[in-house]
Structure formats: structure tokens, C-alpha cells
Structure 1
Amino acid sequence: MSHIQAPAATRAGGDQTRAPAYGWLIVAALSATTTVGYGVLYYAYAVFLTPMATALHTGTTVIAGALTCSVLASAAAAVPVGRWLDRHGGRALMTGGSVAATLLLLAWSRVHTVAVLYLVWTGIGVATACVLYEAAFAVVITWFRERRATALLAVTVVAGFASSIFLPLTGHLVDRYGWRDAILVLAAIHAAVTIPGHLLVRRPPRSVTGDREPAGRRKRANRSADDGQRRRRIVSTAVHDPGYWALAVAFVCSNAAVAAASVHLVAYLTELGHTPQFAATTAGLLGILSVTGRLATTATIRRASPATATAAMFFVQAVAAACLPVVGHGNLGAVVSVLGIGLGFGVSTIARPAILADRYGTAAYATISGILAVPLTVAKALAPLVAAAIRDATGDYLWVAEGIAGMCVVAGVALLAVRRLDAASTPPVERLPEKRLPEN
């Protein structure tokens, strides 16, 4: 199999594989910061669409475009952010990103033109690349080996409630204070939670990873040069591995399907004959179901490989999406279909870092993950627009639903193909020992 082999110290078991208590403190801190980050820097934006469009004398489509620019800016920043995390760790980058995001939120509360809105949200997109899941996962996986899936699950389960917390909170703030002052309150919450939370981030001590501390300045310099060469070799191993690109196909298709479903589900349920209230309430199950899906996937991983467990969840999603046009006219059929679709929400979020870290190790994880994050984020930004174009061209959501089902099938098949590609790989891709990098 073309993954990077763990060091002997960790393979041997013992105390080296147990993360110190401080690792769990970091998990708790990042659970809080990602929840607030997603709630303030992503989900809350939907509540501001109408009041901002009125204040800036434009349409909601133009206002929504600023969020799309933010997502694309995050994709553009993913690779350099990943390289920084591999070389220097997360503390400075994540803290700086939190400070920058807070200042940009303050600027957002005072925008008076669409051009400035787009500029501010492009900056927020760069900041989100530094502080949300990708950066948090890069920190967490360096602290955990045997309990890595549990640690990742803890972060994603808590953050899975971001929309459930911040959508109603933001709505209340806008109703009471108006949209500009509501943003100021959100900025204060963001600063109070994320800045001190990210200041807690540290790299693990070498006792966790089995490394020995190099003695002397020259040895440390030589080690730094060796580590740079190792990172480049690991990244080269990954990008020349067919299995890596099979994973890319799987998660791009999954991200596109989830993004299209989350944006258009309410409108589709309404088109099927349901009341707007029923449609919104049923679609609201997606956030809770995403947590359920993550828990189910993590439990399944204990009995099957992460790729197999995740593929199974994608197939469940595909069946549910394909059945929605047939059974979705009734209340029970609609709810059951949404249940199936929702179970796949968030699964790739927890599966992807676990699969990548297991396959390629942690020394260059953030760079490898950052390369993969570029097409994933672009898919997330563009899939809802493509779905809207298909709906307008065909006159209903039938082909959108079937397209979502098809993407889920492709995602599942691509994950299952990874094992077949590994078995056919001759000679096997070089395995490199996993080392810790020095603290900077």
C-alpha cells in the first residue's frame, strides 16, 4: 500500500502512542474555535443577505457572490497555508488568522459599496483557510495516533452544531440591533473565543512521536534541511500516487453533492408540494444528521477501513437522493430521503484527514491536504451554481437530484478503487519514516 510508514517507536506501542492530556486541551479549544469560526464566518452570512441587499441597493444574488469569492479565496490560500503549517505549526498562523478575521468583520459592519463588500470577504476567505477545519486537522493529527479518529470526531461533532447555534442567534441579533450592529456582536464573540483558543495551540513534545532532540545548532540546522527534503519527497510520493487522485475524485464529487443539496433542498421540497415551513424544518435536520453520520462512520471504522466505511455512507446518500423525486411528494418519503442524504453530510470531513494521515503520515500532511483542498473548495463554491443552471434549463429539480445521486455513486466507487489501485501497484511506492519537525 502506498502510504508512509509510521516510526518504529509508535509501531511498538507503549507510552509514545498516547497523546498527553494537553492534546485533549487542544482538541477542546479547536472544537470551540471551529464552531464559532464556521458560525460567524460562513453560516451567519445567509441571515444578512436580504438586509445587506436593501442597504446596498442591489440584489441578493450579488450579495451572495461575495461569499462565493470568499470560498474561492480560501481555496487559493490552501496550499501556502498547508506548507506553513507543516514547517511552523499552527499557533502563529491560526492566531493571526483569528485577529485578521475579527478586524475584517469590523470592516464588514461598515461597508457601503458592493466593491468593498467583495474585498472584505475575499480577505475573510484567506483568513478562513488559516483557522477552520483544514488547519485544525493539521494540528490535531500531530498529537494523536491510536485515538486520532476520536480526536477528529470530537472537533467535527461540536462544530457540526455551528449552523444550529449561529443561524438563530444571528437572526435574533439582526432583529434586535440591525445588521451592522449584529456583525459587531458576532465579531466580539469571534475574538473572545478564537484568539485565546488558538493561542493554546502547540506542537506535541517529542515523547509523543518517538523523536530524539538533536544536540547543537549545526545538528538542528542539518535536521531542518533534512526535514525540508523529507516533506518534498512525501508530497512528491503523494501527487504521483494514483490512489491520491482517486481520493481527490471521491471527495470532490462528495463535496459537490453536499453543497448542491444543502443550498437547493428547501426549494426542491417546496417544488415537490410541501409548505415552506415543512421544507425548512425538514432541511434543518441536515445539521443534526451530519453529526449522526460522523458518529456512525467513526464506529464503523473500528470494524472496516475508513475508505470502505465512507464509501458505504456515500452509497446510502446516493440511494436517498435518487429516491427523493419518486417518494418525496409525501411527508414520510421526504423525511426518509432527507435522513439518508443527511447521513452523508460531514462524513468526508472526518474521513478525509484520517485517510490521508494513515496513508501518507503527518510530516507533510498539511501540504498534501492543502493541495487536495483546492479542487474540493472550488467544487463547494461552484456546485450550487451549476445546480441552479440545470434547474433553470430543465424546469424542475429532477436532474439535479439524479446528478447528486450520480456524484455520490462516483465518490463511493472511487474510494473503493483505492484498494484495487494499491494492490496493482508494483513496485510499491517508497515508504518513508514519519518524523516530528522541530518547534519554531
Structure 2
Amino acid sequence: MTEAATAPAPSGARLTVTLLGVAQIVSWGSSYYLLAVLAGPIAADTGWPLAWVVAGGSIGLLVSGVVAPFVGRMIDGFGGRPTMAAGSLLIGAGLTGVGAAPNLAFYLLSWAVLGAGMGAGLYDAAFSTLGRIFGSSARRAITNVTLFGGFASTVCWPLSAFAVEHLGWRGACFAYAAVHVLVMAPTLFVLLPREDRKPPPYPSAAANCDAASLSKDRTAFLTLAAILIVNGAIQTTISVHLLTVLQGQGMSLAAAVAIGALIGPSQVGARVVEMLVGDRLHPTATLLCAGVLVAMGMALLALGAAPSAVAIVLYAAGNGVWSIARGTAPLALFGPERYPVVMGRLAAPNLVAQAGAPFIAGISLASFGASTVLFVLATAAAANVILAAFLARASTRWR
């Protein structure tokens, strides 16, 4: 059976993308973005230290990184339909535990369960699923799913705030858990396309396992892994500490919040542009463009050479495109037949870096100040541009 024979019809493709897009909004909003709204109420109600409440999210990211290679193998062997449905069940179980937590230890353990669900339910698993369904033509589907995902905080932060006001933070967790267990898990399991037990060989991929081919694969994997790790660390550091950094530069809290609000629209706008013109570029070139935008934003923010709003828009636009490129570049470099396993292996160190970076940055902010932290982040972003340029140049020789 060929790849074209396994791809869903256009109407089925639209359903698949819409379903996974909605799943990303719900999954990101009830896990990664949850504590932005609930951390304060949890700490105030329980008396647990706010730092430990927030640490739940870091534990979730850490666990999601640990399980990512296993999730990739599961999608490779059994498909995304049962794997992503199981991810929703795990997120629901973790949220139930968080909402019912009688003490801090139980709360943190529940975040570990939630993190396992994140590993099987967020972008990396969704991209791997799209790769299994659409093969080498998954790029447009990946872009469209990220357009949905870009609205996760926009949709779920107000919903979370409304639920906390009317149900309390525990009730908010239970409500999200019910959505995952009763709606998302069965819907994903029933409506996602069934896939072959094992994906067929990609017709254009040569069965070439000589030393040169293996060396190219190893170089591409290590370079891409390094790029994703560095950008993941930058992204989570900014997402957690942006307001602190901007206030450290002398900005008022209200102004910092207003500038931070530009991130979401800038990310979605950049993804729309990528959807319209991205097919003209190889995914590694798109990765390079994303890296340049992030580096420009970080450099302008560190140097104070432009209004902070301009710097944040550039940075956010780069991250918006990056979300797409980190799904499409591995597909182009390694082919759809290895894509789920490669995505799992790439996700593991990236998510671990995302879990640890905000903690290290918090210590650095307290010890050295915002300017030093911004300089380090800008330097790391510039190094990423060099790595991305190397990968884009090398990929033209490998094609």
C-alpha cells in the first residue's frame, strides 16, 4: 500500500486537522497554561508555597520529556489514534488528582501523571500522528494544527478564570478532567483515522544504510536536537519571566502586561504567513527564518535598541513559525517512515530543557539581573541561527 492510499480524503483530512486542533487547544490550556491562572488560587487556598505550586508544571514538562521517546514508539507501532486518546485519559487522571490533592506531595505526583498525558497529547504527539496519517504531505496539516494551538491561552485563560470564580480551583480541574475523559478521549479514538499497524516504507526513501548515510542522519539529528533544546530553553524562560524581565528594564507592570499580550497574535499571524508562503521554502530554511526572527527580537530586547513591543513581536513571530518548523523539519530530513520515533527522541531533551530553564533563569535573575539574563538569551539565540544555517545548508547537499 502506498502513502497516497493511506491518506484520508479531503473531507476526512479537514476533520482530522480540526479534531487535533481542538484537542491541542484543550490539552495546552488545561496543562501547560493551567497554572498561569490557577497557581495563585491554589497557593492562597492551601497555604502551599507558590514556588512549589508552580513546580508542578515543571514536573509535568520533565515527565513529558521522559515519556516522549516511548510515545513516539507507540505512535510508530500502533498509530496516533489510541495513543492520543490515552494521552487525554492521562491528562484527565492527572487533573483529577490535582483537583483532589489533599497535600503537596499528592499534588506534585498528580502533575507527574498529567505530564505523561502531556507527552502523549501535545504538539509532538500530534505532529507524529499527522506524519503517520499524511506522510510526506503532512506539512500543511501541521501548520493548520498550530493555528488552532495558538489560541489555547486565548480560549482557556478566560475559561479557567471563569471556572475558578464559580467552581473554585478544584472544580476547574475537575471540569477540565471531565472534558478530557468524557469528550476528547472517546472523540479522538473514534474519529481519528485508523492507520496500518506499521507504516509502509516511504517509496522515495532509499534503503541506504551505508556509513555516509548514517553519518548524515547522526549529524542532522544532533544539530536539530541542539537547535530545539536551545530554543525551548529560551521560549520557556521568556514565557515565565517576561514580565519580570521587562520590569527589570524599568517598565511598569501594566505596560509589561500590554506588551506580553502581543505574543499570541504575533505567533498566530506568523503562522498564517507561513501557511500562505511556507511551501516555497524547505522546512530547514523555515527553521532558519524562525531562528533569525527570535534572535533579532532577543538582541533588540537585550540592547534596548528598539521599543520593547517591536522586539517582542519579532520574537513571538519567530516562535510562531518555530512551532511549525520543529514538526516539519524532522519530517523532511528523516522521512515519514521514521518520523514518530525521531519526534519522540527529539522531544525528550527539548522538554527536559524547558522544564529546567525557568528555574535556572529565576536564580540568574535574582543573582545577576535582567540585563545579564537577556544577554545570555540573545547570545544563545544567535548561536541557534548559526546551527540552523548549517543545517539548512547541509540539507541542500543531502537532498
Does the alignment reach a TM-score above 0.5? Answer: yes
Q: What corresponds to 1:171 in structure 2?
A: 161
Equivalent position SS for 1:109: helix
The answer to whether the 8 A contact 1:18-1:146 is kept is: no
- Contact 2:365–2:373 (CA<8 Å) still a contact in 1? yes
Moved more, 300-309 or 110-119: 300-309
Counterpart in 1 of 2:286?
Answer: 309
Superposition map of 1:73-222 within 5 A: 73-145=63-135, 147-199=137-189, 200-204=191-195
TM-score by length of 2: 0.89
Contact 2:284 / 2:395 at 8 angstroms: preserved in 1?
A: no
Counterpart for residue 47 of structure 2: 57
11, 17, 24: which one aligns with 1:27: 17
Q: Deviations over 1:204-246 (max 9, x none)?
A: 579x97999xxxxxxxxxxxxxxxxx9x99xx94895212111
- Counterparts in 2 of 1:312 and 1:419: CA distance versus 1, 3 Å: closer
Question: Structure 2: which 5+ runs fail to align?
Answer: none
Match of 1:370 among 344, 359, 370: 344
- Tell me the distance in 2 between the aligned counterparts of 1:357 and 1:240: 12
Q: Distance in 2 between matches of 1:107 and 1:301?
A: 42
Equivalent position amino acid for 1:402 in 2: F
Q: Does 1:352 align with 2:326?
A: yes
Mapped to 2, the partners of 1:197 and 1:26 lie a distance apart of 11
Query: Using a 3 Å threshold, how does the CA distance of structure 1 residues 294 and 408 change in structure 2: closer, same or farther?
Result: farther
Structure 1 residue 392 corresponds to structure 2 residue 366: yes
Q: How many residues align?
A: 390
- Closer, same or farther in 2 for the Cα pair 1:398/1:211, shift >3 Å? closer
Residues 1:261 and 2:238 are matched in the alignment: yes
CA displacement at 1:55 relative to structure 2 = 2.8
* Alignment partner of 1:404 is 2:374: no
Partner SS for 2:100: coil
- As a proportion of its length, which structure holds more helix? 2
1:339 aligned to 296, 313, 334, which one?
313
Say whether residues 1:418 and 2:391 are aligned partners.
yes
- How far apart, in 2, do the equivalents of 1:103 and 1:157 lie? 27
Alpha-carbon distance in structure 2 between the residues aligned to 1:238 and 1:38? 36
Change (3 A) 1:145 1:299: farther
TM-score, normalized by length of structure 1? 0.81
Distance in 1 (CA, whole Å) between partners of 2:231 and 2:15 is 31
**Mapped partners of 1:102, 1:67: distance in 2:** 15
Change (3 A) 1:422 1:190: closer
**Aligned AA for 1:64?**
V
Q: Deviation of residue 167 (structure 1)?
A: 1.1
Deviations 1:81-118 (A, max 9, x none): 11111011122222222223213322221112110001
The answer as to whether partners of 1:142 and 1:203 remain within 8 angstroms in 2 is no
Runs of 5+ unmatched residues, structure 1: 1-6, 213-229, 429-440
1:339 CA drift (Å): 0.8
d(CA) in 2 for partners of 1:94 and 1:163? Answer: 21
| Conservation of the 8 A alpha-carbon contact between 1:32 and 1:193 | no
